A and B are shown apart, each in its own frame.
Chain A
C-alpha cells in the first residue's frame, strides 16, 4: 500500500479513515475514551468544507447524524458504553428508515460509568441486540491502528451500499494505542456511495424494492419527496400496519445483511497441523491471542485461530470448520462471556468451548490465554 505514513492513535486513525471514506459530518458529545475521534474531526472537518457539531447529548448526536445523512452527507458519531446506551433508540430508527450512518463505540469497562479509562469488550452483544425490535446488525471489530483506519472506510462503504447503520467496535487499548499506519492514496481504497434514484421525482417511491432489496435513496432537498418515519411503512414511506406489508418489510431489512455476506463478512482463519485447540478472539484481545499462539507453539502445542473482523454477522462457517477439527475452543474476551455464546450457538456441541474472561480494567495477557491453552491441550 502506498501513501502517507503517520504515527497515529487508533481514535485518530478512525477519524482519518472517516474523512477518507468521504465523511463530511460529525455530531458528537465528549466521552472517554472516544473523545479524540471528535477532537481530530473538530480540527479537520472545517478544513474540508464539512461540519462538526458538538451536540447537547448522546441522543442528539445520534439524531444529528441521521439528519445529516438524509441530506446526503456521510455521517459519523463516536462514543463509548454509556453514550451507546443512549443512542440505541435512534440506531433502531436508522435501521427501519434505512439511513446510512456509522457509529463508533470505543468500548470501556463496566456497566454504567464503569471504568471510563479502562478497556472492555462488554458491548458486543449490545451492538447486536441493543436497540429494540428485530433489526439488521452489522459490527466491525478491528484489532490494530491500521485496521481501525481500513475498517472505518469499510464501515462507511457497507453502510452506504446497504443503507443501514454500521457499528465500529474498538476499545480503549487500540483506541489510545499509537502505531505507524499508512494512509492510502486517494483512489487506492474503493469508496462506495448509497444508491440514488434515477427516476423522475414524481415517480419516486423511497422504499420501492422492485429493482432489488436496497431501494435508491434520494437526498433531502434534491427535489424528491420522501416521508421518513419510524413507523412500519410501505413502499411509499407512509405508515402501515397491514400485516401483509409489515412482515415482508421487516424480513427485507434482515435480508439486506444475510444476502450480502460477501461484502460484510471478514475474518482471519489460521490453521496449524494437528491442532486440537482453537482460539476465537477479536479486537485487542486477538493481539494477546496471537502472542499466546506463538508461545504455545514454542511449547509444542499447535493452536488454530479465528479472528472475526466483522463481528456481526458472526462468521459461522469457519467456526464450524474449526470445531470439527479441534477438541476445545478458547474464547478470550474482556467481558464475562458474550461472544462465547455465539460460538457455542453456531458449533452446536461439536467441540468444548471455554472462556478466558477479564473485566478488571486490565487487558487479557498472552499468559492468561496460554495458561488456558495448556489446561485444555
Chain B
C-alpha cells in the first residue's frame, strides 16, 4: 500500500478544555442509559472530526444507533456484516489510494475507522481484522470492548472475563462459575503477529483525554493501527447505569484493565495506580459476578497478579480448560 498520501497531524489535547465542543456523534439514538460504547463513540468522533468514514460491523453500536430511521453519525457511516469490518475498510482504503494516485481525488485521505465490538474484532471478525493489519491498509481498527455479545442479549465473547454470567455461560450446579475460560488478549494478538502495525494502544472511558489523544495518534500513523477501548455496559454487566465511569476507573485501579501504548516495539503505561486494589473491589459492583465464591475470586486475582507482574511484555496466561474448574 502507498502510505505517503496522508499528511494530517491531529493535535493532542492537554485537557478537556482543548477538546472541540463540536459533536460528530449527535443525539438520535437509543443506546441504554449509561452506555459505555456510546461514550466511546462520542469521544472517538471528537478525535477524528468530520473527514472520516466509519464502519460499524453488526453489534449493539450498529443496532442501537441506527433504529427508527435516524442515526447519530454526522459523517458517512456504513454497516458491515459482523464478519468483515476489516475487509470493507481494506476495500475503501485501497480504492482511495488508487483515486489519489491517479489524481482523481485531490482531498486528504479520510480517516477510515472500523468501530467493531469485541465479537466483530477478535471472534467472528478476527480474520478480516488481522488481514487488514497484515496488508498494511491505512485505517484504524477500534475494538470497543463491552465484554459480550450485547446486541443479541449478552452472550459470552472471547473478551468476556472469567466468571461472568452470560446467557450462554449460565452458572449452575454443573458449571458453578459461569464462564470458565480466561479472555483473549486482543492487543497482543495484533502486536504479536502483524509487522505492518506500528501503533497499538488501550484506553478507557474513565480517561477521555487520553482516549482522544490515542485515537489521534493512531490516525497520525500511516498504515494500520489498533485501539482496544474499555466500554463498560450497565445492561450486560448489571451495574448501576450512573456508575459507568466509576466502574471503568475501578477496572484500572484493580488491574482488570491496563492503559498502555505500544509504539514500534516500545511499551509505555498510563494511569498505573501506586497500589492495586483487590479485583473484588471491581467485581462486587457487577451482578454478572455475583455467584462467584471466594475460590473463584482468588482464581481471578491470581490471573490478574500474573498479568501485572509482566509489565511491558506480552502477558503469558496459564491455559485454563473447562475441566479445570475451581
Contacts and interface: CB of A to CB of B under 8 A. Distances in A.
A102 B123 CA distance: 24
22 contacts: A29-B124, A30-B149, A30-B153, A30-B168, A31-B152, A38-B155, A38-B168, A39-B167, A42-B167, A42-B168, A42-B170, A43-B170, A47-B174, A56-B123, A57-B83, A57-B123, A82-B81, A86-B83, A112-B81, A113-B79, A113-B81, A116-B63
A54 B155 contact: yes
Interface in A47-100: 47, 52, 54, 56-58, 82, 86
B186 interface: no
A52 B156 CA distance: 13
Contacts of A43: 170, 172
A46 interface: yes
- Return the 3 tightest CB-CB contacts between A and B, nearest first: A46-B174, A57-B124, A30-B152
Interface residues of B, number: 22
Contacts of A112: 81
B156 A54 contact: yes
Interface of A: 29-32, 35, 38-39, 42-43, 46-47, 52, 54, 56-58, 82, 86, 112-113, 116
A31 B79 CA distance: 17
Interface string B95-108: 00000000000000
Nearest to A42: B168
Interface string B142-154: 0000000100110
Q: Choose among A39, A54, A56 the residue with the greatest number of B CB atoms under 10 Å from its CB.
A: A54
B301 interface: no
B168 A113 contact: no
Contacts of A116: 63
Contacts of A57: 83, 123-124
A47 B176 CA distance: 12
A35 B167 contact: yes
Interface in B189-232: none
A311 to B, nearest CB: 27
B274 interface: no
B205 to A, nearest CB: 24
Nearest to B174: A46
Contacts of B170: 39, 42-43
Nearest to B83: A57
Nearest to A49: B174
B182 to A, nearest CB: 15
A54 B172 contact: no
Interface string B49-77: 00000000010000100000000000000
A42 B171 CA distance: 10
Contacts of A113: 58, 79, 81
A40 to B, nearest CB: 10
